[in-house]
Amino acid sequence: MSALVEIRDVSKAYTRGRQSVEVLHHISLDIRQGDFLALMGPSGSGKTTLLNLIGGLDSPTSGSIAVGGRRIDALGGSALAKWRAANVGFIFQFYNLLPMLTAQKNVEVPLLLTKLSAAQRKRNAAIALSLVNLADRAQHKPNELSGGQQQRVAIARAIISDPTLLVCDEPTGDLDRQSAEEVLGLLQLLNREHGKTIIMVTHDPKAAGHASHTLHLEKGTLVEAAI
């Protein structure tokens, strides 16, 4: 299979006060379409930074990142936002749902950026919620749902625009084992049945066990490339 994500000699430095701290050093990596990749490593190793770069939330200091053949490191703010909306689904550790909206409205949010009508948005959200087995909780607000249910709503939101790539930052980090298993099973399903390419940052080896590949980062460098 061809590489969906091509990372070439990427470095990322942050400026803190007068100091510049490089958190990623000359990373090169290919991630194939349909992969389920786990990124592991100790805190501060640069996992989330790499994930943010792949998801187009941040830009590398040097090097290049191409997703689906498109150089995203060269895109400006607005173009990058549009690219994210069309190509990437995000799943966070703390779900990041909008507290005042129902599950259905939360799932619909990415579709506000499309030209779909309100009825179409509602229909698509209902399908996405069915896929994560939460059709009966569509009208519940986040605070009326368990952590596992909230994360499943977040997954429904991530897939509603049918993105190629799902980036997950510690998706089970705030969940009990059973909920974590449900969420990981769902991600596996999306990977195997729906062909989504998934990149997941995790500290949990059990969670990483659900991925097809695991990469380790230490001090901003890939120490083990299992691809």
Site residues, other proteins (CB under 8 A): 52, 55, 57-58, 77-78, 81-82, 84-86, 90, 92, 96, 98-101, 105, 109-110, 112-113, 118, 157
Nearer CB in complex with other proteins: 55/210: 55
Nearer CB in complex with other proteins: 61/188: 61
Shortest Cβ 79–other proteins spacing (Å):
9
In the Cβ-directed half-sphere of 27, how many Cα atoms lie within 13 Å? 36
Residue 83, number of CB atoms within 10 A of its CB? 16
CA angle, residues 127, 132, 136, in degrees to nearest 5 = 70
Nearer CB in complex with other proteins: 29/50: 50
Shortest Cβ 78–other proteins spacing (Å):
5
Shortest Cβ 201–other proteins spacing (Å):
13
Q: Is the dihedral of CA 117, 123, 124, 128 positive or negative?
A: positive
Nearer CB in complex with other proteins: 102/202: 102
Shortest Cβ 192–other proteins spacing (Å):
25
Shortest Cβ 178–other proteins spacing (Å):
26
Write down the residue that tokens 């059990």 correspond to. 206
Tell me how far apart the alpha carbons of residues 56 and 44 are, in angstroms, rounded to a whole number. Answer: 20
Nearer CB in complex with other proteins: 34/173: 173
Tell me how far apart the alpha carbons of residues 182 and 147 are, in angstroms, rounded to a whole number. Answer: 11
* Residue 63 in tokens: 């090097």
- Alpha carbon dihedral 96, 101, 105, 106, in 10-degree steps, equals 0
